[in-house]
Structure 1
């Protein structure tokens, strides 16, 4: 939110004008990039909320951490993710390519989660991988919303694009926890959750590649 407030200054002094017609909204939403940004945010929310629902139960049942410790570790994970949000805003204010930022974040989350599920690492290292995952994945939302502002040609168009991103992100919020539950149930163990996380990351990487191609071609 802080990032969006600072970015809003790019529109300072611009007149909002009359309310946009439905045809104007359709024109702005006909661009491919807003839909790709929405899909990237959907992949992020699918991954993040799946992990958020999975983590406390996983700690209780497999690491015997106890209810209090599991809750505190989950809260720490969310806090680290918030710091990742701030870092993502900092990076995007330095005009890093949008597709590169989103792609790198999804790629690193895959590596971190492979560490989380590695039986060759001690619990402390696996926890460090989980917290690193929380920080890295936190870079994705500010990158996506920055993209919405970059590709908007007016304040009203920015509103349409950001609204689209938020609505598509709800798909990930809704589907992530059930997918984790189904994977664990059908896979016979918690390790099956890894495939949901990696699947979401693969979707995100594909989207990031498409955004990078559009950025290089100058398309919207």
Structure 2
């Protein structure tokens, strides 16, 4: 059944508290922020073999480098929501971009601890963006939630695709892995500069916006957390290990990087389509199950016929874009107000990303322990089944 047009129409955004309309400049700023919310993580994945060789890392430690940002998403999401309430979402988002810039600089310094410290700073910055962007969308574009969420999700996946595509060629073309990582961190500085005009539109959500106990008791909250958690676990595991899997199968480093770029790039289309479609449906359960089925095809294909890796990267790309797009859309659709969107986003992303953080580490441990990819890919298939079960509750037309 279609939703009312009042939920999905392309009406102008409402006027902000300062009297300035949330217009094209605000929209551009949000999109540029979103462009940086995965790039610094995706850019590392094609370079993991080089980083491991240079720093002498084992598989589990290398997986930890990709797990750390996701772990930050889980541990710091409540703090990110509080930061937005205390200093305003605009100032908090500026801090987020500056954190990514500083982290990108620190992680290219010599030594494993510089890499770890920089990665944590990047993860903290991305966490603030993850939590507060849905609140900005709900607040500044209440009549264009679907289309604006689609744009930000497309920017997020597009930034990841671009970073995955350029880091290996840059690193092997004379820049080295450190220079390549600096390149993918630079756009955050541009986003920070272009976000500065938004500081005049300071929005501070009330600290006591809703009954947190009721939020935690809602089955919708936990279903959303499980859906996002299993989506994140599968996505970040693939983001971290797909190039290594392919290189184990004899694929060159450059071709493995391009396969990862394809995995991210193809998600842009479904990242745009899924939120737009979700806002026009009263019930999103069927859409969630379709996402899970597409993930299953990708994983089973890599397990059974890895030589067709471009086909499976295509299926995985379509699945991951739709999965994150649907998850972010549900955070907006299931919330009654911008304040509840902030709290729901913080809670769901905290639990969901804590679950998701186990993906890269789990795959690294299973790969090292078994010496192959059957157990790691089998574990990801189990995660997809859990994701499908969660979709049956998260996709129902209920708000919290």
| TM-score in terms of structure 1 length | 0.81
Question: Are residues 1:21 and 2:208 paired?
Answer: yes
Give 1:138-153 correspondences, 5 Å limit.
138-153=321-336
1:41 aligns with 2:228: yes
Give the alignment's TM-score, normalised by structure 2. 0.47
Distance (Å, rounded) in 2 between the aligned partners of 1:60 and 1:145: 32
2:203 is the alignment partner of 1:71? no
* Residue of structure 2 aligned with 1:10, choices 123, 134, 142: 142
Change (3 A) 1:210 1:187: farther
* Contact 2:209 2:339 (C-alpha < 8 Å) held by counterparts: no
CA RMSD, 1 decimal: 2.8
1:30-71 CA-partner distances (Å, limit 9, x unpaired)? 322122111211101100111111111111121x22222222
Aligned pairs for 1:148-167 (under 5 A) are 148-167=331-350
Q: Determine if contact 2:227/2:390 at 8 Å carries over to the other structure.
A: yes
Among 354, 357, 373, the alignment partner of 1:174 is 357
Structure 2 residue aligned with 1:107: 293
Shift of 1:116: 2.1
Q: 2:335, 2:298 → 1: CA distance?
A: 33
CA offsets per residue over residues 158-194 of structure 1, 9 Å max, x none? Answer: 1101111221232144210111122223333122221
1:47–1:196 CA contact under 8 A, matched in 2: no
Alignment of 1:112-151 (within 5 A): 112-119=298-305, 123=307, 125-151=308-334
1:41–1:141 Cα contact (<8 Å) kept:
yes
- Evaluate the alpha carbon distance shift between residue 68 and residue 52 of structure 1 in structure 2; reply closer, same or farther with a 3 A threshold: same
Give the aligned length. Answer: 210
Higher-Rg structure is: 2
Structure number with greater CO (CA < 8 Å, separation at least 6) is: 1
CA displacement at 1:151 relative to structure 2 = 2.1
CA distance in 2, matches of 1:159, 1:110: 32
Q: Unaligned 5+ residue runs, structure 1?
A: none
Q: Which residue of 2 aligns with 1:88?
A: 274
